[in-house]
Amino acid sequence: MSGLLMPKADDSTMSRRSDIVTALRAIVPGEGVVDATNAMRVFESDALTAYRQLPLVVVLPQTVAQVSRVLKYCHENNVKVVPRGSGTSLSGGALPLEDAVLLVMSRFNQILEIDYPNRVAVVQPGVTNLGITNAVEHEGFYYAPDPSSQIACSIGGNVAENSGGVHCLKYGLTANNVLGLEMVLITGEVVRLGGKHLDSEGYDLLGLMTGSEGLLGVVTEVTVRILQKPATARALMVGFPTSEQAGKCVADIIAGGIIPGGMEMMDRPAIHAAEDFVHAGYPLDVEALLIIELDGPVVEVDHLISMVEAIAYKNGASTCVISQSEEERMAFWAGRKAAFPAVGRISPDYLCMDGTIPRKELPKVLAGMRELSEKYGLRVANVFHAGDGNLHPLILYDANIPEELHKAEDFGADILRLCVKVGGVLTGEHGVGVEKRELMPEMFNEIDLNQQIRVKCAFDDKHLLNPGKVFPQLHRCAELGRMHVHRGQVPFPEIPRF
Amino acid sequence: MSGLLMPKADDSTMSRRSDIVTALRAIVPGEGVVDATNAMRVFESDALTAYRQLPLVVVLPQTVAQVSRVLKYCHENNVKVVPRGSGTSLSGGALPLEDAVLLVMSRFNQILEIDYPNRVAVVQPGVTNLGITNAVEHEGFYYAPDPSSQIACSIGGNVAENSGGVHCLKYGLTANNVLGLEMVLITGEVVRLGGKHLDSEGYDLLGLMTGSEGLLGVVTEVTVRILQKPATARALMVGFPTSEQAGKCVADIIAGGIIPGGMEMMDRPAIHAAEDFVHAGYPLDVEALLIIELDGPVVEVDHLISMVEAIAYKNGASTCVISQSEEERMAFWAGRKAAFPAVGRISPDYLCMDGTIPRKELPKVLAGMRELSEKYGLRVANVFHAGDGNLHPLILYDANIPEELHKAEDFGADILRLCVKVGGVLTGEHGVGVEKRELMPEMFNEIDLNQQIRVKCAFDDKHLLNPGKVFPQLHRCAELGRMHVHRGQVPFPEIPRF
């Protein structure tokens, strides 16, 4: 493992490994407990592949009762637990710890109920994001949030990270599309939050769980909103001589009261990489490309398309193509959706960042990124959800060149600091995980962090769930009043023993 | 005070009253501390006027530093605090306690910033809901959530109750329209949550605060999303011979992929009361009336209006009028918006209930309510947000007839139990307050309630903030593991001394 300080493993847990494995086998029979090194290798990282670590043991439960008993056992025996869905996290949220049970939820893969009159689906957390849409599309419905990893990522992971996607500008993040959860607390107790209705009393624990990165509990059932497919969708592909013009176009569209189904921007390096890879028909003589999708009733879409076209030309668009068929619309998106692997073809390695900024700061942040690119001597390709200000700069580096990963990480941290400086935040949809853990004090002061950790303690007072993630330091809950988070330092996150 | 058990006042606090008043005067000078009985009388209830109680003392701070110092003083000296905005709560959330400081936020009435490019407004919590729209409408913007009390209710109160309104089907509740908060913890520490951006890392404390009913902290600044006014809005007024047909029409509109800006239903007693009061032109020969508003670009609205009209007639509408002018649209709404005072004209008193159900259960719940009405011998008028299943049954009673309030409360509790039974919840937008406190165990089991109280403890471990509201019993945080909430009982909520 390079470039990341992880908590020192707890010797007492390591020495009890065979007892722990035996106890888990008594709860989850058969193939459900994996402790052979080779078999565990497949779980040693998530999609933040720069960091790898074998877990203490892997457990794949199949029932809520098993999840409850595993967590109860771990709680009573002070064993740490890292929950994991499909392992597509880009921030290392599902990175195993050598002294923690890796609780893999992939066998929870059933769709339990589809209720069209109430427009909800009740699914197990291991169902993939796209699996929900696949199950309801024959009735004309779909599940709106669509992260790029939607073929593989699980809905439980989407809840943990509050995942977005190209359509979240209009249809919201995961938090806006989840109506109910069943979750198991570290004590083994099962809690139900929300349901099929829109409103709920009591504290908004549903919202709190969404985006909690596996630190508060383990989700065992998710009730999601399903939406009727819009009557039609059409896309515009608009090229601009400068990214400032593209940014102004985005602002004018929103200011015009138009909320596109998706509004994505790519810069020159991303455009070229994508075009070389999938031949989407992107113009190669522009600095910025917007893909703007309008969906809804046909008459509305036709009307909005012409409004957007006019706004684009007013802002100096050098090319503007409107999709005339479903095939053409899909082609426009193909390049955008393949942008990450496309960049992977032009660079041995890349770091995918995930900052969010107030929309109007786009030109300033793009200019700042160009300066940083020169400073670090590393290229950056930009692909982002322009409509909601969620940036995904891809920093290109070569892991075989000594110190390049380290340099890329520093570059990435500087980009995120820039995002915070203009009033934005460290992450949009990828989570904090281990990747942005050290940057939390850039965003939150000591009082803010203390309050978040107090909430963590209200769920998991022994800090057994996913320790070493999200928070730069852990603290005994009882000592919270005396806790200090040192701004600007990068403290070693040693986890206290209880 | 009748029909409500409130916590026994803490004698030690009562005996220190003059010391407390002196200490508060040192923090908030001038008119900011009110302790004369007559002057405090105006604060003795909120809009749940059946319950009245004088506070220990009233404080009206003007700065964040004053709020911080008041709370710090109360925390250090174990004095309870009830926060209050405009006092329009319908569930008794702002009901004073005789041994608690009433912290009134009405002097926080400034709009601090309007940022059109980012489409946000930063306001103090005492600004009224309508005050935000008034400040931005000259630029073509508005603030979407629109509770009926919007002329008077404060945005801080909206955050505390997660208020909705007739437009929340399409535009969301307060939680969906608040992007950032500044709040003061009971310790006096100031925390900032969220900001001007859409996404945020860290736990969703913003969501947790929204709907927390004054039990977690005191909001001192709110950043809200402002929306561009739609190009046009038109409404249909549709009458049906039965409420089942109206319910089916609502379901078919949603199933058709149409999300109206508002979709409201009234039953016969509500229609007649409203028509007698404001002469909106409502048909008097129908059992149910729908007011359905479509907003957006003109071409879209025209298209959707004709779709909705067809769905209405298919479901047996006996009358369907489409607004031909802004005046006519406003007239359709005038009756709906005046429904509560209109009902007040036909009955000496009424209780306004607030349950939410899955949309498709509407006919079942309406039938159940008719049975209950006969059982209790009390009339009920129904006004509700049909699109999102949020019911507002108004139970008519006469407080001068002995036991009628008590009977009305039992009737209301039965309605809410019916909502929970069909998969719904106890409240949509009015909060739990004192009104539905005893019903929380109908909805939540012991594990659920314990977890909510653990979260409460993470913010306010001495239970000083708004005690006696929301939770049927309070418990020492340290004893939470041994806590019991007795299902079905109505325990006396004595607040433990610390």
Tell me the fold of A347-437.
Alpha-Beta Plaits (3.30.70)
Residue A482 binned pLDDT confidence (cut-offs 50, 70, 90): very low
Residue B290 Cα to chain centre, angstroms: 22
Tokens read off for A282: 């992107």
- Give A417-464 pLDDT, tens digit per residue: 999 899 888 887 888 888 888 888 888 888 888 888 899 999 998 999
User: What residues of B are in contact with residue A304 (Cβ under 8 Å)?
Assistant: 297
Q: Which long-range contacts (CB under 8 A, 24 or more apart) does B445-451 make?
A: B445/B487, B446/B483, B446/B484, B446/B485, B446/B487, B447/A185, B447/A189, B447/A190, B447/A191, B448/A191, B448/A192, B448/A193, B448/A202, B449/B485, B450/B480, B450/B483, B450/B485, B451/A185, B451/A189, B451/A191, B451/A205, B451/A458, B451/A459
pLDDT higher than 90, residue B449: no
Residue type, B378: L
CA distances from A225 to A136, A145, A411, B149 (A): 11, 10, 38, 30
For residue A6, count other CB atoms closer than 10 A to its CB.
Answer: 19
Higher model confidence: residue B399 or residue A100?
A: A100
Question: Hey, where are the domains in chain B?
Answer: 11-104, 111-228, 232-339, 348-437, 445-498
| Cβ atoms of A214 and A469 closer than 8 Å | yes
* A118 interfaces chain B, CB cutoff of 8 Å: yes
| Cβ atoms of A203 and B452 closer than 8 Å | yes
| Cβ atoms of B387 and B254 closer than 8 Å | yes
| CATH entry 2.60.40.10 includes domain B232-339 | no
CA distances from A31 to A427, B60, B139, B205 (A): 37, 64, 64, 39
* A232 interfaces chain B, CB cutoff of 8 Å: no
CA distances from A74 to A78, A192, A219, A462 (A): 6, 21, 17, 11
Smallest CA–CA separation between A30 and chain B, in Å? Answer: 31
Quote the CA–CA distance of A378 and A373 in Å, as a whole number. 5
Question: B11-104 and B111-228 share one CATH topology?
Answer: no
Residue A305 binned pLDDT confidence (cut-offs 50, 70, 90): very high
Cβ–Cβ of B388/A198 closer than 8 Å?
Answer: yes
User: What residues of A are in contact with residue B447 (Cβ under 8 Å)?
Assistant: 185, 189-191
pLDDT at A481: 41
**CB-based contacts of A406: which residues, under 8 Å, 6+ apart?**
A2, A3
Instruction: Residue A226: name the closest of A327, A144, A309, A112 by CA.
Output: A144
Mean pLDDT, chain A, whole residue set = 88
**Which A residues in the span 392-431 are in contact with B, Cβ-Cβ below 8 Å?**
423-429, 431
Residue B111 binned pLDDT confidence (cut-offs 50, 70, 90): very high
Residue B485 binned pLDDT confidence (cut-offs 50, 70, 90): very low
**CB-based contacts of B146: which residues, under 8 Å, 6+ apart?**
B129, B165, B166, B167
Smallest CA–CA separation between B389 and chain A, in Å? Answer: 8
| Cβ atoms of B314 and B306 closer than 8 Å | no
For residue B347, count other CB atoms closer than 10 A to its CB.
Answer: 17
Secondary structure class of B388 (helix, strand, coil): helix
pLDDT higher than 90, residue A216: yes
CA distances from B470 to A230, A473, B109 (A): 40, 34, 27
User: What residues of B are in contact with residue A229 (Cβ under 8 Å)?
Assistant: 257
Cβ–Cβ of B117/A230 closer than 8 Å?
Answer: no
pLDDT higher than 60, residue A189: yes
| Cβ atoms of A14 and A23 closer than 8 Å | no
Tell me the fold of B348-437.
Alpha-Beta Plaits (3.30.70)
* A208 interfaces chain B, CB cutoff of 8 Å: yes
* B114 interfaces chain A, CB cutoff of 8 Å: no
* Mean pLDDT computed over B132-143: 96
Cβ–Cβ of B444/A197 closer than 8 Å?
Answer: no
* B257 interfaces chain A, CB cutoff of 8 Å: yes
Q: What percent of chain A has pLDDT over 70?
A: 92
Residue B476 binned pLDDT confidence (cut-offs 50, 70, 90): low
Looking at B150-217, which runs of residues are DSSP E strands? 178-184, 190-194
Tokens 């909520």, residue?
Answer: B493
Q: Which of B118, B203, B304 sits opposite A455 (nearest CB)?
A: B203
> How many contacts, defined by CB atoms under 8 Å, are there between A and B?
225
Q: Which of B197, B447, B448 sits opposite A389 (nearest CB)?
A: B197
Quote the CA–CA distance of B453 and B463 in Å, as a whole number. 10
**CB-based contacts of B74: which residues, under 8 Å, 6+ apart?**
B80, B81, B101, B186, B464
Quote the CA–CA distance of B176 and B210 in Å, as a whole number. 10
pLDDT at A474: 58
pLDDT at A5: 63
Smallest CA–CA separation between A345 and chain B, in Å? Answer: 30
**CB-based contacts of A407: which residues, under 8 Å, 6+ apart?**
A376, A377, A378, A397
Cβ–Cβ of A426/B360 closer than 8 Å?
Answer: no
Q: What percent of chain B has pLDDT over 70?
A: 92
Q: Which of A199, A257, A356 sits opposite B198 (nearest CB)?
A: A356
**Which B residues in the span 84-113 are in contact with A, Cβ-Cβ below 8 Å?**
none
Higher model confidence: residue B337 or residue B102?
A: B102
Residue B497 binned pLDDT confidence (cut-offs 50, 70, 90): very low
Q: Which residues pair with B221 in a beta bridge?
A: B182
For residue A461, the chain B residue with the least C-alpha distance is B454
Cβ–Cβ of B199/A425 closer than 8 Å?
Answer: yes
State phi, psi for A287 to the nearest 5 degrees: -90, -25
* B444 interfaces chain A, CB cutoff of 8 Å: yes
Smallest CA–CA separation between A470 and chain B, in Å? Answer: 8
Smallest CA–CA separation between B352 and chain A, in Å? Answer: 17
Q: What percent of chain A has pLDDT over 90?
A: 59
Smallest CA–CA separation between B208 and chain A, in Å? Answer: 5
User: What residues of A are in contact with residue B162 (Cβ under 8 Å)?
Assistant: 199, 204
Cβ–Cβ of A199/B357 closer than 8 Å?
Answer: no
Secondary structure class of B15 (helix, strand, coil): helix
* B458 interfaces chain A, CB cutoff of 8 Å: yes
Smallest CA–CA separation between B470 and chain A, in Å? Answer: 8
Tokens 């504290």, residue?
Answer: A203
- Give A58-68 pLDDT, tens digit per residue: 999 999 999 99
| CATH entry 3.30.465.10 includes domain B111-228 | yes
Smallest CA–CA separation between A311 and chain B, in Å? Answer: 16
User: What residues of B are in contact with residue A390 (Cβ under 8 Å)?
Assistant: 198-199
Quote the CA–CA distance of B7 and A41 in Å, as a whole number. 58
Report the largest interatomic distance among the alpha carbons of chain A, rounded to a whole angstrom.
70
Q: Which of B205, B228, B388 sits opposite A257 (nearest CB)?
A: B228
pLDDT higher than 80, residue A485: no
Residue B3 is classified by DSSP as S
* Mean pLDDT computed over A227-253: 93
> Ranked by mean pLDDT, which of A57-66, A290-299, B399-408 comes out on top?
A57-66
Secondary structure class of B410 (helix, strand, coil): helix
User: What residues of A are in contact with residue B193 (Cβ under 8 Å)?
Assistant: 448
Smallest CA–CA separation between B281 and chain A, in Å? Answer: 31
Tell me the fold of B11-104.
3.30.43
Q: What percent of chain B has pLDDT over 90?
A: 59
* A455 interfaces chain B, CB cutoff of 8 Å: yes
* B254 interfaces chain A, CB cutoff of 8 Å: yes
pLDDT at B486: 32
Cβ–Cβ of A208/B358 closer than 8 Å?
Answer: no
CA angle B377, B378, B383 (to 5 degrees): 145
pLDDT at A167: 85
Smallest CA–CA separation between B415 and chain A, in Å? Answer: 16
**Which B residues in the span 178-197 are in contact with A, Cβ-Cβ below 8 Å?**
185, 189-193, 195-197
pLDDT at A2: 40
Q: Which of A116, A302, A428 sits opposite B199 (nearest CB)?
A: A428
pLDDT higher than 70, residue B484: no
For residue B161, the chain A residue with the least C-alpha distance is A201
**Which B residues in the span 12-71 are in contact with A, Cβ-Cβ below 8 Å?**
none
* Mean pLDDT computed over A37-48: 91
pLDDT at A245: 92
Residue B223 is classified by DSSP as E
* A314 interfaces chain B, CB cutoff of 8 Å: no
Cβ–Cβ of A202/B452 closer than 8 Å?
Answer: yes
User: What residues of B are in contact with residue A162 (Cβ under 8 Å)?
Assistant: 199, 204
